[in-house]
Chains A and B, each alone.
Chain A
């Protein structure tokens, strides 16, 4: 079946622009995660949803970052007034249940470049 998809795959923004990154999780997956991966680094946690509820947003680096999942499926990560330090690959992952041992399946990522 289809895996996690993300769009766009690449996004170039001028500093100060707003961007919206989309994640389509695997159908039926309850949990959804966003991670940020800077160049040469491992992914870092941003936020976590269980269905439509955002249960953890402790990793969001500033109030310019906002995520939503209004119907418990597709999620959007929005970054307002982008800065150069926001340049990174943004990864989305989903898992079937909230169960602690459930595998997270990752999408291909969106590479954001802020000029």
Chain B
């Protein structure tokens, strides 16, 4: 079946530090890949997505590249801000089924 594995957290960084959050997946067929973010007190929001191999999703300074050869979709940002503090979820959707399969999520805290 489909699964998503995220690196263990939490992660604490200083403002302007470089961020990488690892995500690998197992899926049948050719999945679409997503990063969702949950800010404190808010619902899940789509951060970025990629629908085929070598696609790069980007939004708000975050980027992730769909790597089929390594089955990975790592999230990166060059310079994090305090406002980026949130929980980040990697997810996939595969085949005819529209349901999302999520990783466990990782909490990012950015200190001033």
Closest to A33 in B: B99
Tell whether, in the assembled complex, residue B98 and residue A100 are in contact, meaning their CB atoms are under 8 Å apart.
yes
**Contact A45 to B32, CB < 8 A, known contacts A4-B43, A100-B93, A108-B43:** no
Q: Mark B59-97, 1 if CB is under 8 A from A, else 0.
A: 000000000000000000000000000000101010011
> Cβ of A21 < 8 Å from any Cβ of B?
no
Q: How many A residues face the partner with a CB closer than 8 A?
A: 27
Secondary structure of the A side of the interface?
loop
A-B contact count (CB 8 A): 57
A42 interface neighbour in B46, B96, B97, B103, Cβ under 8 Å: B103
Contacts of B32 in A (CB 8 A): 100-101
Tell whether, in the assembled complex, residue A42 and residue B98 are in contact, meaning their CB atoms are under 8 Å apart.
no
State the Cβ distance, A23 to closest chain B Cβ, in Å: 12
Tell whether, in the assembled complex, residue B43 and residue A42 are in contact, meaning their CB atoms are under 8 Å apart.
no
Q: Mark A1-42, 1 if CB is under 8 A from B, else 0.
A: 001100000000000000000000000000101010000111
**Contact A56 to B99, CB < 8 A, known contacts A42-B91, A106-B43:** yes
